[in-house]
């Protein structure tokens, strides 16, 4: 196995999850609610504590309610940079924020948890990484905002927790989370050194 869950299953969240959407300041009415999924990753410091804190901060955002939290998994680092192992998970949200507002709010949570992007290299180690994986069935390709996350379909560390929360979640143009995860699974006859790679 390339990754294994640590902590409890998604029912045992270890976080107080509010059941209702907290309104955004200055707004009397909600817009349409959208189901979104956010990937969580950390490989510096107390990874689990930081991720738990991130979930709580996301849940406290105006216009956002966390409605599901996956198990956390220890995963081998993906990409060209040599770095410590990651802890990865995902959350399901209901939100009436627009995609750009949601991304900005997620980047702000990263900053509040001490992430300093200026000191980082691409795909390098980080205290916390929040990736907007899916926003309903929306497809967006804008400067600084790609939805679905452009590398979601090729990353086991993102697909596994997503499929745990919502196996039928549709990655537009590619298939469901469960189908994409199955497609990443190495056929038994190809088991070898490469089979341990985490995507
Ligand atoms: N951005 C555009 N679209 C999105 C989106 N859907 N979600 C922009 C989040 N951000 C989005 O982000 C750089 C910029 O991407 C943001 O400012 C935002 O405007 P970043 O998280 O600093 O990205 P990066 O590290 O430069 O590149 P990338 O590909 O996003 O990296 P990842 O996906 O964050 O990868 N291995 C394991 N096992 N587990 C991991 O979690 N993570 C990384 C980092 C590398 N290896 C890993 C893991
Ligand atoms: Mg990222």
> Which residue ranges form the domains of the chain, and what is each CATH number?
3-150 (3.30.70.560)
pLDDT at residue 9 tops 70: no
User: CB–CB of 38/93 below 8 Å?
Assistant: yes
Q: What is the pLDDT of residue 187?
A: 63
Give the range among 104-113, 114-123, 164-173 with minimum mean pLDDT.
114-123
* CB of 137 closer than 6 angstroms to any ligand 1 atom: no
Ligand lying closest to the C-alpha of residue 106:
1
Residue closest via CA to ligand 1's atom 2 equals 145
Q: Which residue has the higher pLDDT, 32 or 150?
A: 150
pLDDT of 27 reads 53
What band does 32 get if pLDDT is binned at 50, 70 and 90? Answer: confident
User: Which residues are within 8 A (CB) of 118 and not within 5 positions of it... i.e. 6 or more apart?
Assistant: none
User: Residue with the nearest Cα to atom 19 of ligand 1?
Assistant: 144
pLDDT at 134 over 90: yes
Q: What is the pLDDT of residue 25?
A: 54
Residues across the chain: 199
> At residue 28, does pLDDT exceed 60?
no
User: How far apart are the CA of 130 and the centre of ligand 1, in A?
Assistant: 8
Whether 115 is catalytic: yes
Write out pLDDT tens, residues 37-70. Answer: 999 999 999 999 999 999 999 999 999 999 999 9
pTM of the full structure? 0.84
The per-residue pLDDT for 79 is 83
Instruction: Enumerate the β-bridge partners of residue 146.
Output: 141
Which candidate, 17, 44, 42, 22, places its Cα nearest to that of 33?
A: 22
Q: Give residue 176's pLDDT.
A: 98
């Amino acid at each position: 196995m390339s990754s294994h869950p640590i902590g409890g299953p998604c029912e045992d969240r270890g976080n107080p999850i509010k059941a209702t959407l907290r309104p955004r300041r200055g707004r009397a009415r909600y817009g349409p609610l959208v189901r979104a999924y956010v990937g969580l990753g950390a490989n510096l410091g107390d990874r689990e504590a930081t991720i738990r804190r991130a979930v709580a901060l996301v849940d406290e955002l105006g216009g956002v309610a966390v409605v599901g939290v996956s198990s956390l998994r220890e995963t081998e680092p993906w990409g060209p940079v040599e770095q410590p192992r990651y802890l990865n998970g995902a959350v399901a949200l209901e939100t009436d924020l627009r995609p750009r507002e949601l991304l900005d709010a997620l980047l702000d949570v990263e900053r509040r948890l001490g992430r300093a992007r200026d000191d980082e290299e691409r795909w390098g180690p980080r205290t916390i990484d929040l990736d907007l994986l899916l926003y309903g069935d929306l497809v967006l390709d804008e400067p600084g905002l790609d939805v679905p996350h452009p590398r979601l379909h090729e990353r086991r560390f993102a697909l596994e927790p997503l499929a745990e929360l919502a196996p039928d979640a549709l990655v537009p143009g590619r298939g469901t989370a469960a189908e994409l995860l199955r497609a990443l699974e190495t056929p038994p006859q190809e088991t070898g050194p490469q089979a341990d790679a985490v995507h």
